[in-house]
A and B are shown apart, each in its own frame.
Chain A
Amino acid sequence: GAGVSQSPSNKVTEKGKDVELRCDPISGHTALYWYRQRLGQGLEFLIYFQGNSAPDKSGLPSDRFSAERTGESVSTLTIQRTQQEDSAVYLCASSLVDAQPQHFGDGTRLSIL
């Protein structure tokens, strides 16, 4: 595709529910990243996929967070038993191979009531 695509663009859910966020990277980009951006703050790294290598999960804040990627395409970020502090914009980025630069999607704005 022309750019990184994320869905949904907005998600409002009740505390305790599970949510799934989707990222479709730029075609041909083998590296995919998830970041979280809380209101008025910088971007925090969550997880990184590169080809068939084991993902770098070092940024996941708790075991309620997980992510999967099918081959070199779509990735889903799952947050289980959501809490209010999970409210943020979740941004996905992709890049060629293991190189830079990273290109970002528009993000999913997650609001936990």
Chain B
Amino acid sequence: GENVEQHPSTLSVQEGDSAVIKCTYSDSASNYFPWYKQELGKRPQLIIDIRSNVGEKKDQRIAVTLNKTAKHFSLHITETQPEDSAVYFCAASHTGTASKLTFGTGTRLQVTL
């Protein structure tokens, strides 16, 4: 089955700096890669996703890149703000035949003033 690894487990940045979180996946058939943000005690919230037919997607301060050959994808947050502090999870799935999401272990991002 699919295996997703995520690094780093914790990340501390100063407000205004950029943050990068990286994930690798094992199943070359995976074609959908979402990122979820989870604040303490809250539900995971989808912040951005990418499908395997594109290499990059951007939404304001958040971007995701995908390298299918290397089987890795990354989340980039620019101009970080204190409200970006949360746990971020990457995930992978193969829509159509195995839609369950396989999640990474999470990255705790802390944005300091």
Among A65-73, A79-87, A101-109, the stretch in contact with B: A101-109
Known: A91-B43, A101-B34, A104-B44. A31 touches B104 (CB 8 A): no
Interface range, B side = 20 to 34
Among B55-63, B64-72, B73-81, B91-99, the stretch in contact with A: B91-99
A59 closest partner in B (C-beta): B100
The docked-state distance in angstroms from the alpha carbon of A42 to that of B91 is: 10
Known: A42-B89, A101-B46, A104-B44. A95 touches B99 (CB 8 A): yes
The docked-state distance in angstroms from the alpha carbon of A106 to that of B105 is: 19
Contact B106 A42 (CB under 8 A): yes
Q: Tally of A-B residue pairs with Cβ under 8 A?
A: 59
Contact for B100 among A33, A41, A99, A107, CB less than 8 A = A33
A103 closest partner in B (C-beta): B46
Contact B100 A42 (CB under 8 A): no
> CB-CB < 8 A to B103: which residues of A?
35, 42-44
> CB-CB < 8 A to B18: which residues of A?
none
B36 closest partner in A (C-beta): A104
The docked-state distance in angstroms from the alpha carbon of A45 to that of B43 is: 15
The docked-state distance in angstroms from the alpha carbon of A99 to that of B42 is: 24
Contact B99 A31 (CB under 8 A): yes
Contact for A102 among B1, B98, B101, B106, CB less than 8 A = B101
Residues of B within 8 A of A (CB): 1, 32, 34, 36, 42-46, 49, 89, 91, 93, 95-96, 98-106
9 interchain residue pairs of minimum CB distance:
A42-B103, A45-B100, A104-B43, A43-B103, A42-B105, A106-B43, A104-B44, A101-B46, A100-B32
